[in-house]
Amino acid sequence: MSKSLSILVYLKRQKKDADGKMPLYVRVTIDGDTADFALSRRILPDEWSQSKQRCLGKMPETLQFNAKIAKIKGDLTTLFDRIPVTEVVKPKQLIKLYHGTDLEKEQQLKKDQHFHQHVLIIIDRYLTLKNKEKKARTTPIAGPHPDRIAEEFDALIRLIEDFLQQSRTWMDDPVVDKTLMDAQYTFLLKFLYKVLKGTASHETFRKWVSTKNTFLGFLEYRYKADDQPLKTIPLKFAIDLHEYLTLTNSIGNNAAMKYIKNLKQVIDDAVIQGWLPQNPLESFKCTYVDPERQALTLDEVARVIAHDFNNVRLTEVRDVFIFCCFTGFAYQEVYNLRPRDLSIGIDKKNWINTNRNKTKNPEFLPLLPIADDLILKYWSHPYCIKYKKLLPVNSNQRFNEYLKEIGALCHIELELTTHTARHTFATTIAIEHDIPLKIVSTMLGHRTQRTTEIYARASKPAISRHMSALQEKLFGDGRHLHVHDKTYSIDPNLPDKNTTKKARAAAK
């Protein structure tokens, strides 16, 4: 860690020439370590002021050289200041950087000015491949051959590896200022590499691309620029971003906090790479309003099951929704379900074993009869056979649009979504029927039990059921407290409850 810089210009008296002139040298000292380099100038001793660090005289040439000395000192100081405090730099290294070229040209040479564009090209190539992959899966005869697509994905992986290696020159150079978009595009590229390696999801990657676009919109709105140097980002940056999202874009608090959390993650990655000594947003605490998880009651679930829609489209959407209500699968998981995900469990029942698309955590659960029956119902469905699916699932947008119709037809006030179905399974089907939280957490594919606890708010039916059981244990079928073999009451001569109510009503 380099802490102090000193620059001294002096006459080197040991190299006096025949005319009595001496060369001027610059001495750079960093934390007690020194190195010198010569200036292209020789002068007589009486033409130099050591205390003022300048040549004496008013001649234009003298004034010009004094300006050059001031610029040299300024450039050296600027180079030193641009080096992160966590980096150790020696005087010889600083001098070498100075002699290489001026500061702006140094950065132009070392930093790939087209890095952002190259990343966007790679992302576009990846998304094109994903579309090819989807076409090959949906139209296997007309679409491209799967082996060919796999080869293109492998080539893309190698391209990213090579590109990251080539970019190391400017990425690892402490002199080159890094920007927020440098950090964002580097993060995107590394995340895409994880997706291609199977350790991150395609859907999450798409959200990160959207996040990048949101950050660009904020930079344009707040700074009238398309980027911002990392070292100039203040804590207020997060506050301004929150106001931009909630007030200008009308985004809810929780969604805005999620964006800020993502921003902090990007800058944390920049800190890990040595681009910053610490995250300037570290002290900003993301606070969330814990929303009430909306779930259907068992009566409402039964009403949806019993309704005759007289419409194939709505019937299929209803069936998928009910399947989610009895399994807890999110939209993406139920969309991806295939026959290979079915297996016979230790109880000889059908089980589903898959990975949570969002967290990559395993989800496995035995199927309740109604969910098992729905798989049987659609086993020979043309769509399921053609695309090797367990259920005929529409696109997410269309699916939620059809659910709105279903909710209206079934006279359900709560908005029906795939999230509603997942919450219904966790709360109404599982927790309210005394399934332990740990088991529910495993079936939902949560990373930690804390995530599941948001569903564990006691409902009125659950409170009533448990308090009734408690009353039975403590009071039996009467009003006396039972302790061992004895009974206790407040007052055996209490007035009749109905008589008391009538008397109070009459008094009013």
Let me know if residue 61 belongs to a domain. Answer: yes
> Is 323 in the same domain as 342?
yes
pLDDT over 50 (residue 10)? yes
> Is 168 in the same domain as 247?
yes
At 156 the pLDDT is 94
**Mean pLDDT, range 1-20, rounded to an integer:** 85
At 169 the three-state DSSP class reads helix
Domain of 306 in residue numbering reads as 298-460
> Is 310 in the same domain as 415?
yes
At 27 the pLDDT is 94
> Is 27 in the same domain as 120?
no
Question: How many Å separate Cα 409 from the centre of its chain?
Answer: 38
> Is 333 in the same domain as 352?
yes
**Mean pLDDT lowest for which of 52-61, 73-82, 300-309?**
73-82
> Is 357 in the same domain as 430?
yes
Find the helix or strand (DSSP H, E) in which 104 lies.
helix 103-110
What is the pTM assigned to this prediction? 0.60
Question: C-alpha angle with apex 459: 357 to 454, nearest 5 degrees?
Answer: 35
pLDDT over 70 (residue 189)? yes
Q: How confident is the model at residue 501 (pLDDT cuts 50, 70, 90)?
A: low
For 27, phi and psi rounded to 5 degrees? -105, 125
Tokens at 487, concatenated: 């009974």
Question: How many Å separate Cα 105 from the centre of its chain?
Answer: 35
At 109 the pLDDT is 40
Query: How does pLDDT run across 332-391, given as a tens digit for each residue?
Result: 889 889 999 898 888 888 888 876 555 555 667 888 899 999 999 999 999 888 888 999
> Is 263 in the same domain as 311?
no
Find the helix or strand (DSSP H, E) in which 424 lies.
helix 418-424
For 468, phi and psi rounded to 5 degrees? -65, -40
Let me know if residue 293 belongs to a domain. Answer: no
- Yes or no: say if 356 and 363 are a contact pair by the CB < 8 Å rule: yes
Calpha distance 17→28 (Å, rounded): 24
**Mean pLDDT, range 305-323, rounded to an integer:** 93
For residue 387, what are the contacts with CB-CB under 8 A and spacing of at least 6? 137, 138
Calpha distance 131→149 (Å, rounded): 10
> Is 48 in the same domain as 163?
no
At 328 the three-state DSSP class reads coil
At 398 the pLDDT is 86
Q: What is the DSSP string of 437-449?
A: HHHHHHHHT-SSH
Query: How does pLDDT run across 414-457, given as a tens digit for each residue?
Result: 989 888 998 898 888 888 887 787 887 778 777 666 666 666 66
Tokens at 117, concatenated: 């564009």
Percentage above 90 pLDDT, the chain = 40
Calpha distance 171→273 (Å, rounded): 8
> Is 49 in the same domain as 93?
yes
> Is 27 in the same domain as 139?
no
pLDDT over 80 (residue 470)? no
Let me know if residue 68 belongs to a domain. Answer: yes
> Is 92 in the same domain as 172?
no
> Is 121 in the same domain as 268?
yes
Task: Name the DSSP class of 53.
Answer: T
Query: How does pLDDT run across 132-167, given as a tens digit for each residue?
Result: 887 777 665 555 677 788 899 999 999 999 999 988
Per-residue HEC secondary structure of 219-280 comes to HHHHHCCCCCEHHHCCCHHHHHHHHHHHHHCCCCHHHHHHHHHHHHHHHHHHHHCCCCCCCC
Question: C-alpha angle with apex 183: 177 to 184, nearest 5 degrees?
Answer: 140
Total structural domains in the chain? 3
